[in-house]
Structure 1
Amino acid sequence: MRSAASLTPIIGIANAVVVAVAVVGLMVVPSSGETPAGPRGGAATRQAPQQTSRPLEPQPSVSQGTGQPPGAVATPEFARQVKANEAGLVPVLMYHRIVAKRHAAIDRTPKQFRQELEKLARQGYVPITAKEFATGDIRVPAGKFPVVLTFDDGHPSHFGLDAAGNLRPDTAVGIILDVARKYPGFRPVATLWVNREPFGLRDRAAQETAVRWLAGRGFEVANHTWAHPNLRALPTSQVRRQIVRLERLLAKLGAGPSTTMALPFGNLPRVRKAARTGGWDGTRYDFAGVFLAGAEPSISPYAKNFDRGAIQRIQSNGKKGECRKWCSQYWLEWLNKHPRERFVSDGDPQRISVPERLRGKIEAKRGALVNAY
């Protein structure tokens, strides 16, 4: 097994493997036409909490204004008790089609998808969106682990409404909500990166209904470019055009501007920064996070070497073929076997709790927020 310190050198090889698998998978799919950080990103807003006579019992924090219940004010003693490590690794899981019969290696069946979600729920993972992750707005109960569920391409299997306007239960979103009902601590949110025909819908009114339904329930709908091209093969002006055209569509549908984007095929453009910030025809974009196609857990967004322009993801799949070491079953098992490497929340969005040995891994501008033990 590799330690966290040894993960970086294999990124290039891992990405190449996952991109190759993705390209093969996408060939069977029909064609279709730095921002401010989160609440932990700036200076501390209050002094470190004073130790009380009962240091292991957290006190309620002030409301965070997100509709979620207030968390705990983490003291070093409480962070130690819950084994908090907010410098740890976070699984950002990548899904494509959720279909009854798999036609490509990157497809998952509804049964496989449900089983993976239920395993995550039983193991203590709590979903957050890619936006929340990239901006450092991680509001997960103390002792639990964030996980980011992401879906590429806006496929009809991700989301759909029936003729009566009810959610189709066999879609990815329907399954997420069903698992959340079974496991109340499993927050039902995800990020869906779409192209020019979100969820296979061509009618503009239907697209808007879908996007607003999702956004109104905490799901993130964001940018995956207009036509899903290989950005590395395009001149920079066309890269920006692809991104801006989708941004304009999302704005019309009620989901823009995007905070995150996923790279088609996981390929960065030749001018790398063009994927994260730029403009075309009078419209600008500035993403907090740009996500790759694989193939490892991401480092913490609070870490000094966190790269917002190339955030790692993990393809959802079993341990077969190229996925023996690069996909979700492998990495979730690895994180369970290496709990000291995993991101564990302190339950306090205003603190960054880490073991003393990891204090130096947190970026300097967040130093006033560090709660080391």
Structure 2
Amino acid sequence: MGRLRVIGVVVVAAATGAALAGCSGQDEAKDPAAVAAAAKASASAVAARKAAQLKSRAATAAQVRANELGQIPVLMYHRIVEKPGTQDDRTPKQFRTELERLAKENYVPVTAAEYVTGRIDIPAGKHPVVLTFDDSSPSQFDLDGMGVPKPGTAVAILEEVAKRHPGFRPVATLYVTRDMFGKASPEEGAEMLTWLRDKGFDIGNHTRDHKNLRGKPEDQVASEIAAGHKLITDLIPSKPVTLALPYGNQPSTKTWGLKGTSGSVTYDYGGVFLAGYTPAESPFSKKFDPVGIPRIRSMDKTGDCAKFCSTAWLDWLQAHPDERYTSDGDVNTVAFPKFKSPFALKRFSDRILAY
């Protein structure tokens, strides 16, 4: 019995010693100086990784000559028909030819909503283009009995071109009115808008009745815009992000098109589009004016379109590549050459990558 007790004491003592040794190690690990040194080393490693990533991103941006303060073509279309009746109409062949050109010149479509909110997520070296369609004509979009876009419509042609050019996104913004692609019932209208939304298209407000807003008092302007807003939200659970002004005419106070209330409807848009003749400014640039974003009418270089329509402006952007928006491939950064820094909006300072 005595022998066993001695052994027990030895075992307990050994265990106690081990425990004390363990405590000693823990105390050393929690030494303030050691903890501070470890934290400093970890922070330095993180900073080094971030610096390396930043350097790599800057190198990529420089390699592709990224300029996310550059100009963006916002193209304006109306009817796509075999026999144009107005200067705004384009034939299916003309529309297809323009899309093919855009794809070959490294343009990637983005929606108007993506553009005004700065969510321009396209590959490095590519250029955004915004395709917009006014007045919700049946020539722009219609479905067959199986829910497939009818051949010859703008949406069908856009999808066909996208299939031939991987990376050319088949998306656009359709500015709708009460005509709603020629559909008579709310159910048919909802069917059309739901299909478009689910395929990544953007639905914009063009007012319900397409009335000229110039010279009208604030309550009438707000009423027309709110009616168009409600027309869309009654059919799909998605609010429009932008407005295209009927005839491109601004109200006497430009901001009425951007924000307003009429009855129970309040609208607050990211951008208001005109029917102008120049490329639009980058949403990251101080030149960007959300209450008056210009668009370019799609047309060949004839008459007054010799300088101010799509063919002429695409020629100009091709000849002046440093003036157009070129992506660095990272939607989380705004990349451009350092000398352009004075033109960047301050609210994007945490995203700026000047190289």
TM-score, scaled to structure 1 = 0.80
1: distance between equivalents of 2:328 and 2:147? Answer: 39
Out of 277, 281, 289, the position equivalent to 1:295 is 277
- Asked if 2 retains the 8 angstrom alpha-carbon contact of 1:214 and 1:220, the reply is yes
Q: CA 1:165 to 1:77, structure 2 compared with 1: closer, same or farther past 3 Å?
A: closer
Q: Secondary structure at the match of 1:298?
A: coil
Moved more, 232-241 or 185-194: 232-241
Between the aligned partners of 1:148 and 1:245, the Cα distance in structure 2 is 25
Indicate if the aligned counterparts of 1:248 and 1:256 stay in contact, CA closer than 8 A. no
Distance 2:148 2:102 in 1: 27
Gaps spanning 5+ residues in structure 1: where? 1-45, 57-74
Matches within 5 A, 1:85-100: 85-100=67-82
1:100-142 CA distances to partner (integer Å, 9 max, x unpaired)?
0011111100000000001100110000000000011100100
Name which one, 1 or 2, has greater alpha-carbon Rg.
Answer: 2
The RMSD of aligned alpha carbons is 1.6
Instruction: Name the CA distance, whole Å, in 2 between partners of 1:78 and 1:243.
Output: 43
Q: State the alpha-carbon separation in 2 of the partners of residues 255 and 201 from structure 1.
A: 19
d(CA) in 1 for partners of 2:167, 2:203: 23
Say whether residues 1:167 and 2:149 are aligned partners: yes
Check whether the contact 1:215–1:255 (CA below 8 A) recurs between aligned residues: no
2:256 corresponds, among 271, 274, 283, to 274
Q: Equivalent residue for 1:49?
A: 50
Residue 368 of structure 1, CA deviation: 2.4
SS in 2 for 1:140: coil
- The Cα of 1:323 is off from its aligned counterpart by 0.5
Structure 2 equivalent of residue 102 of structure 1: 84
- Aligned counterpart, 1:351: 333
Report the Cα offset of residue 263 of structure 1.
Answer: 0.4
User: Counterpart amino acid of 1:352?
Assistant: V
Contact 1:211 1:253 in 2 (8 A): yes
2:265 equivalent in structure 1: 283
- Choose the corresponding residue for 1:340, options 303, 318, 322: 322
Which piece of structure 1 moves more, 346-355 or 158-167? 158-167
Kept after mapping to 2: 8 A contact 1:276/1:289: yes
1:163 deviates by: 3.3
Aligned to 1:226: 208
The 8 Å contact of residues 212 and 255 in structure 1, kept in 2 or not, is answered as no
Which residue of 1 is the match for residue 301 of structure 2?
Answer: 319
- Does 1:121 pair with 2:88? no
3-state secondary structure, aligned to 1:94? strand
Give the TM-score of the pair, scaled to structure 2.
Answer: 0.84
Deviation at 1:197, TM superposition (A): 2.0
Question: Given the alignment of the two structures, is residue 258 of structure 1 paired with residue 259 of structure 2, yes or no?
Answer: no
- Quote the Cα distance in structure 1 between the aligned partners of 2:270 and 2:198: 21
Q: 1:55 deviation in Å? A: 5.8
Partner residue, 2:21: none
- Aligned AA for 2:247? F
CA drift at 1:247: 1.2
Residue identity in the other structure for 1:102: P
What one-letter code is carried by the residue in structure 2 that aligns with 1:51? Answer: A
Higher relative contact order (CA 8 A, sep 6+): 1
Structure 1 or 2: more helix by fraction: 2
1:13 aligned partner: none
Displacement, 1:233?
3.5
List per-residue Cα deviations over 1:257-308 (Å, max 9, x = no partner): 1100100000001122111100001210000010000110001100012100
CA–CA separation in structure 2 for the residues paired with 1:352 and 1:136: 9
Of 278, 290, 313, the residue aligned with 1:308 is 290
> Which stretches of structure 1, 4 residues or more, deviate above 3 A after TM superposition?
46-49
Determine the C-alpha separation between the residues in 1 that align with 2:181 and 2:238. Answer: 17
State the match for 2:225 in structure 1: 243
Amino acid paired to 2:212: N
Identity of aligned residues (%): 46
For the residue of structure 1 that corresponds to 2:288, the secondary structure is coil
Query: Unpaired runs of 5+ in structure 2?
Result: 1-45
* Structure 2: distance between partners of 1:236 and 1:159: 33
Residue type matched to 1:224 in 2? H
Give 3-state SS (helix, strand or coil) of 1:90's partner: coil
Please state how far the C-alpha of 1:255 moved relative to its aligned partner: 5.3
Alignment counterpart, residue 135 of structure 1, candidates 104, 117, 122: 117
